[in-house]
């Protein structure tokens, strides 16, 4: 096929299509190129193609099923693009906000901040107190230092009715015994103030018990349920010259108390412990020794240790005893016995001056007796 | 300036102003697609209503299987949905849509070549009274002015289309049934405009030969 023939065919094709699709199917410069020359030769072919087009135009069109349309609409709704957001504001603040906001809104950050705050406050208070942990302000009766036992073996038992009876009796007779005690203390070069209760249940000195006219305390072995605590509390002389004998008496008393199994029939002393020592054990020397210091049993003779122990014990304030005396004073005040009230007040002041100032003096029930005494 | 005057000046009638849906129907395909990009599902609904029928018939005449044509129609619009965010106004919507549909048809045709398929004029049942596959693909309704065209002619036309090569068939279908200009067809197919015209001419010649027996009947058609 020569080039001229091909060009002619192309022209013919363009002309034919331009005639067949006059509705914009061809560009203007292409339409009917060389139209006037061979239009007659295209007529027959054009007529046949127009007939063909009419056949196809008569073909019916079909509709897709509604299921397809519905599913497409559902998919379009489901996958519809989200509206585009407005462009974020530029600047350092916007950048900083975008950086910090995810962290600031995280709940873990609030928890961490709370932890840091609590730890900071606790640390500040700790260092302000010089590295010491604060003690609770409201101490219980058992944890109060004045009642705390310095030794595990001397842990006091709960206060019983017997103790209260005993303390009451002490309070009533203390005025009588105080003068004698002072005399005895002077004779033994030991101040009467050195009578200090250390641990355990308050036990009367021997002289007090004797003056009360009560029976001697039963041996420890006879005191049911109180043997352990009774065995560990003794009266020990403070004076050096008596220390050895007192230590010896301690040993003897333990040996004898172990041997002494005979029950005491006294109804008043039954079940009551006054130190677990029999009268003969507590008074081994022929001369009475009223100026004993009740102290813990220590197996050492080291004087320095004993002195230190005594000074420590002296700092221990028997608030419980002071409170008992206070109650006794209240009862005496009710009965109008202001002399007893005065004596008990002196005793409380000796025992616990802080309690005396803080509680005893502020007792309105005792105020009348105090005024009467001051007037006298 | 009053709002009504603005609408009149911009070519919006009073009826359209009161009816937003009517305004959407007057929008171009590209404007509707941009609206759908902004999340307006109603715009896509109008696009679907506008194009589902011609696209479906194009696919149906290409693959000559109704079920397959429905699947391909669904896939075509699904691709439109998925690619909506990437759509740019520079591209004509119909060009984009028919490119998708045509590619799906070509892919389907290539896959069909590798497996045995039933012939359109093969009887669906063993006895010859059961009709053919072509009967199934033919429309159920005929417009009143086209009732002269018989069922036999429809079958012959379908068979003649099936005899065309894929290149000729797609060009003929786009030009004849979709009224697409040759330039747009060349954009969809991806060949030059002259190549499209050449394919069109050969397609017409071949169809004329196939349908020679209906020439007299065709002359009688309006």
DSSP string for A119-144? HHHHHHHHHHTTS-PPPPSS--TTT-
CB contacts of A33 in chain B (<8 Å) are none
Predicted pLDDT of residue A115: 94
Dist CA B100 CA B77 (whole Å): 9
pLDDT band for position B58 (50/70/90)? very high
Q: Which of A290-294, B59-63, B113-117, B169-173 has the lowest mean pLDDT?
A: A290-294
CB contacts of B77 in chain A (<8 Å) are 72, 76
CB contacts of A46 in chain B (<8 Å) are none
Written as six digits, the tokens of A298 are 């220590």
- Minimal CA–CA distance to A263: which of A215, A210, A228, A201? A215
Q: A39: which residues sit within 8 A by CB, 6+ positions away? A: A15
Reply yes or no on whether the pLDDT at A119 is more than 80. yes
pLDDT band for position B152 (50/70/90)? confident
Nearest CA in chain A to B61: A61
The distance of A97 to chain B (nearest Cα, Å) reads 27
* B48·A69 Cβ contact <8 A: yes
Predicted pLDDT of residue A85: 59
The distance of A88 to chain B (nearest Cα, Å) reads 18
For residues A290-297, average pLDDT: 48
* A56·B176 Cβ contact <8 A: yes
Q: Which long-range contacts (CB under 8 A, 24 or more apart) does B125-133 make?
A: B133/B65
Nearest CA in chain A to B82: A79
Interface probe for A, chosen from B200, B210, B212 (most Cβ of A below 10 Å), is B200
Please indicate whether residue B182 or residue A171 has the higher confidence score (pLDDT): B182
Q: Give the mean pLDDT of chain B.
A: 77
Predicted pLDDT of residue A370: 76
By a Cβ cutoff of 8 Å, what residues of chain A touch chain B?
10, 13-14, 16-17, 20-21, 23-27, 48-49, 51-65, 68-69, 71-73, 75-77, 79-84
Of A42-51, A272-281, A342-351, A363-372, give the range with the top mean pLDDT. A342-351
Please indicate whether residue A107 or residue A294 has the higher confidence score (pLDDT): A107
Dist CA A48 CA A55 (whole Å): 11
* B211·A72 Cβ contact <8 A: no
User: Domains plus CATH for chain B?
Assistant: 13-116 (1.10.1740.10), 143-222 (1.10.10.10)
Q: Which residue has the tokens 């129609």?
A: B73
Question: Which among A20, A75, A84 has the least Cβ separation from residue B38?
Answer: A84
Q: Which of A71-75, A135-139, B45-49 has the lowest mean pLDDT?
A: A135-139
For residues B1-8, average pLDDT: 44
Please indicate whether residue B96 or residue B26 has the higher confidence score (pLDDT): B96
Predicted pLDDT of residue A155: 46
Q: A345: which residues sit within 8 A by CB, 6+ positions away? A: A329, A356, A360, A366, A370
Predicted pLDDT of residue B209: 84
The distance of B183 to chain A (nearest Cα, Å) reads 8
Question: Which among A58, A71, A83 has the least Cβ separation from residue B146?
Answer: A58
pLDDT band for position A177 (50/70/90)? very low
* Cα-based angle B85, B90, B96 (whole degrees, multiple of 5): 65
Reply yes or no on whether the pLDDT at B104 is more than 90. yes
Query: Number of CB pairs < 8 Å for A and B?
Result: 128
* B77·A26 Cβ contact <8 A: no
pLDDT band for position B212 (50/70/90)? confident
Reply yes or no on whether the pLDDT at B84 is more than 70. yes
For residues B160-176, average pLDDT: 90
Q: How many alpha carbons lie under 13 Å from residue B162 in its C-beta half-sphere?
A: 16
In whole angstroms, how far apart are CA B129 and each of A66, A90, A142, B86, B123? 30, 76, 112, 52, 8
* B57·A48 Cβ contact <8 A: no
pLDDT band for position B53 (50/70/90)? very high
Reply yes or no on whether the pLDDT at A296 is more than 70. no
The distance of A72 to chain B (nearest Cα, Å) reads 7
- Minimal CA–CA distance to A13: which of B173, B182, B95? B182
CB contacts of A65 in chain B (<8 Å) are 70
* B57·A82 Cβ contact <8 A: no
pLDDT band for position B49 (50/70/90)? very high
Q: Give chain A's length.
A: 376
Q: A313: which residues sit within 8 A by CB, 6+ positions away? A: A150, A196, A198, A295
DSSP A292: E
Nearest CA in chain B to A14: B197
Nearest CA in chain B to A6: B198
The distance of B13 to chain A (nearest Cα, Å) reads 28
CB contacts of B85 in chain A (<8 Å) are 81
- Minimal CA–CA distance to A201: which of A237, A154, A246, A269? A154
What dihedral angle (degrees, nearest 10) is formed by the CA atoms of A23, A27, A33, A35?
20
Straight-line distance from the first to the last Cα atom of chain B, in angstroms, rounded to the nearest whole number: 52
Question: Which among B38, B52, B81 has the least Cβ separation from residue A79?
Answer: B81
Predicted pLDDT of residue B48: 93
Predicted pLDDT of residue A2: 58
CB contacts of B35 in chain A (<8 Å) are none
CB-based contact B214:B156 (threshold 8 Å): yes
Interface probe for B, chosen from A11, A18, A22, A56 (most Cβ of B below 10 Å), is A56
């Amino acid at each position: 096929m020569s080039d001229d023939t091909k060009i002619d065919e192309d022209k013919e094709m363009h002309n034919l299509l331009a005639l067949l699709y006059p509705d914009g199917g061809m560009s203007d410069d292409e339409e009917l190129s060389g139209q006037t020359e061979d239009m007659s030769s295209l007529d027959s072919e054009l007529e046949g193609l127009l007939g063909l087009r009419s056949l196809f135009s008569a073909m019916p069109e079909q509709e897709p099923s509604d299921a397809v349309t519905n599913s497409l609409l559902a998919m379009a709704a489901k996958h519809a693009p989200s509206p585009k957001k407005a462009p974020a504001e530029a600047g350092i603040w916007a950048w900083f906000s975008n950086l910090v906001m995810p962290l600031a809104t995280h709940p873990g950050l609030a928890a961490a901040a709370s932890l840091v705050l609590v730890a900071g406050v606790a640390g500040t208070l700790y260092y302000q107190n010089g590295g010491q942990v604060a003690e609770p302000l409201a101490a219980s009766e058992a944890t109060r230092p004045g009642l705390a036992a310095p030794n595990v073996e001397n842990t006091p038992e709960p206060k019983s009715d017997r103790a209260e009876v005993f303390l009451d009796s002490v309070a009533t007779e203390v005025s009588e015994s105080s003068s004698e005690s002072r005399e005895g203390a002077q004779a033994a070069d030991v101040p009467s103030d050195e009578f200090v209760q250390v641990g355990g249940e308050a036990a009367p000195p021997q002289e007090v018990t004797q003056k009360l006219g009560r029976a001697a305390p039963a041996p420890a072995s006879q005191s049911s349920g109180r043997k352990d605590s009774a065995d560990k509390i003794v009266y020990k002389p403070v004076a050096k010259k008596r220390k050895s004998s007192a230590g010896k008496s301690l040993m003897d008393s333990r040996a004898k108390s172990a041997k002494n199994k005979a029950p005491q029939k006294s109804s008043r002393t039954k079940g009551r412990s006054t130190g677990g020592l029999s009268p003969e054990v507590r008074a081994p020397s022929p001369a009475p020794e009223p100026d004993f210091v009740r102290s813990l049993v220590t197996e050492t003779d080291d004087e320095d240790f004993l002195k230190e122990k005594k000074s420590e014990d002296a700092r221990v304030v028997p608030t419980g005893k002071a409170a008992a005396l206070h109650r006794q004073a209240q009862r005496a005040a009710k009965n109008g016995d202001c002399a007893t009230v005065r004596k008990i007040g002196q005793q409380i002041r000796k025992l616990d001056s802080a309690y005396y100032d803080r509680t005893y003096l502020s007792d309105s029930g005792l105020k009348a007796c105090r005024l009467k005494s001051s007037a006298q | 300036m009053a709002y009504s005057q603005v609408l009149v000046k911009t070519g919006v009638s009073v009826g359209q102003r009161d009816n937003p849906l009517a305004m959407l129907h007057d929008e171009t395909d590209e404007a509707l697609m941009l609206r759908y990009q902004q999340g307006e599902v109603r715009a896509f609904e109008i696009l679907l209503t506008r194009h589902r029928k011609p696209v479906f018939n194009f696919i149906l005449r290409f693959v000559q299987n109704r079920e397959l044509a429905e699947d391909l129609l669904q896939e075509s619009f699904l691709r439109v949905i998925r690619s909506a965010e990437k759509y740019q106004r520079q591209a004509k919507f119909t060009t984009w849509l028919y490119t998708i549909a045509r590619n799906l048809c070509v892919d389907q045709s290539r896959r069909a070549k590798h497996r045995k398929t039933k012939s359109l004029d093969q009887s669906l049942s063993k006895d010859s009274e059961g009709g053919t596959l072509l009967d199934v693909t033919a429309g159920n309704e005929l417009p009143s002015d086209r009732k002269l065209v018989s069922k036999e002619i429809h079958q012959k036309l379908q068979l003649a289309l099936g005899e065309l090569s894929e290149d000729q068939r797609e060009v003929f279908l786009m030009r004849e049934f979709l009224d697409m200009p040759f330039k747009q067809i060349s954009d969809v197919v991806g060949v030059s405009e002259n190549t499209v015209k050449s394919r069109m001419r050969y397609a017409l010649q071949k169809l004329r030969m196939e349908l020679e027996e209906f020439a007299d009947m065709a002359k009688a058609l309006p």
